[in-house]
Chains A and B, each alone.
Chain A
Amino acid sequence: MLVLTRKSGESLMLGEDIEITVVEVRKDGVKLGIDAPRDVPIWRKELFDEIAQANVSATQPQLAKSELDKLFTQQHQQQEPKDKVKERTRKEENTHGA
């Protein structure tokens, strides 16, 4: 890993398009400003750790498939009236569109 020392107000470039500026240095954290093209996504690293954790816990279900299907069937039956309303609205929209 490349390690650099930067002071408040100084910045560094990643390639030609991405600039990272140290905005403020405090005891408990560093405030960074990032200038990057809109199509470069920027995320806090913790997000990726959380996604990885969620995936690992998602592989743990012990329920049989039939149990799961039953759960959804029950839920769908409960929701049916709402869905019908939605469908009708959609049909009406289509009619207006045509």
Chain B
Amino acid sequence: MMELKTTRFGTLTLREQDIITFEKGVPGFPTYKKWLLVGDENSPIQWFQSTDDPDVALPVTSPGLFFGSYNAKIAPSERQAIGDPPDEHLSLVVVLTIPAAEPWKMTANLRAPIIINQSNRKARQTAVLDDSYQIRQPVFSPEAQEKLKAQAQNEETQEEQTVKENG
């Protein structure tokens, strides 16, 4: 068992076999090769936490949750690079970009999913062969975004009122 201090999750306890290795690093973080998938299974978002930098955690989700028809083609060479796992050992997640002030505008990188070989814990972020998939694909429809925005603003107003009443 090892301990890992992280900014977002505090101190995590992990076993060597929990570590997921990106042999070529992750684009944007080429020297960070060992990562940990953190988050509870009931939440749609999990996080790739870097073991090299406590500040760096990438939110990811299963594309099936929001993009049911997602069916990107992975280059065979990319699959081979993580040991050519059979389908049942291959997981795929997409990275989410979540704007802090306007989280309903979050986007998913459908162009470059992360593929994970569950049997040897090797992973890789790979550009898919279909160029119709977007790097910043909105997760929520424009209508859903409007609703979430309205709800957030509504809550803010309520909070302000509570403060006023209490004050």
What is A's interface to B at a CB cutoff of 8 Å? 39-41, 43, 47-48, 50-63, 65, 67-69, 71-72, 74-75, 78-79, 86
Contact = CB atoms under 8 A, between A and B. Distances in A.
Given A50-B135, A55-B95, A69-B43, A39 B148 contact: no
B30 to A, nearest CB: 8
Contacts of B97: 54, 57-58
A59 B75 contact: no
B interface, how many residues as a size bin?
A: 35 or more
12 contacts: A39-B77, A41-B77, A47-B127, A48-B27, A52-B27, A54-B97, A55-B28, A58-B96, A63-B100, A71-B104, A72-B43, A78-B147
A71 B55 CA distance: 23
Given A52-B27, A68-B98, A75-B144, A63 B111 contact: no
B56 interface: yes
A35 to B, nearest CB: 17
B36 interface: no
Contacts of B136: 54
Nearest to A57: B97
B81 to A, nearest CB: 11
B66 to A, nearest CB: 9
A71 B61 CA distance: 14
B123 to A, nearest CB: 13
Nearest to B45: A68
B68 interface: yes
Nearest to A67: B103
- Among B59, B68, B97, B147: residue with most chain A CB under 10 A: B97
